[in-house]
Amino acid sequence: MENTVAVCRNSLRREMNVVMGWVLGDDEYRYLVDGVRSEATAIHTFTLAPRLDVALANRGRRKLTEEERERIRVHYAMGVHDPAFGDVIDN
């Protein structure tokens, strides 16, 4: 997470927008926000959180492996699909 914050800070100093795809728990979110607060005027977070049955389904041509399905189940059990911060999008 330390490297991620450093990359974000460097990009923000260059007046670039930063978009990252990362699973954030509460601790990681606070670490990120605290780390970039001095560089960012606004921080927006979005969580893509379809229903579990949709998340576990194959979409398009790509087939999910059983390992990927298990990882999705673990993330949903941990609650990362419904964080206490940011906007949640049911996609």
The alpha carbon of residue 1 and the mean position of all alpha carbons in its chain are separated, in whole angstroms, by 12
Question: Under a CB-based contact definition with an 8 Å cutoff, are residues 67 and 26 in contact?
Answer: no
Percent of the chain with pLDDT over 90: 75
Task: Kindly state the average pLDDT of the residues 14-41.
Answer: 89
For residue range 35-73, what is the model confidence (pLDDT) as tens digits? 998 887 788 999 999 999 999 999 899 899 999 999 999
- Residue entry with tokens 């954030």: 24
Question: What is the reported pTM?
Answer: 0.76
The predicted pLDDT at position 23 comes to: 86
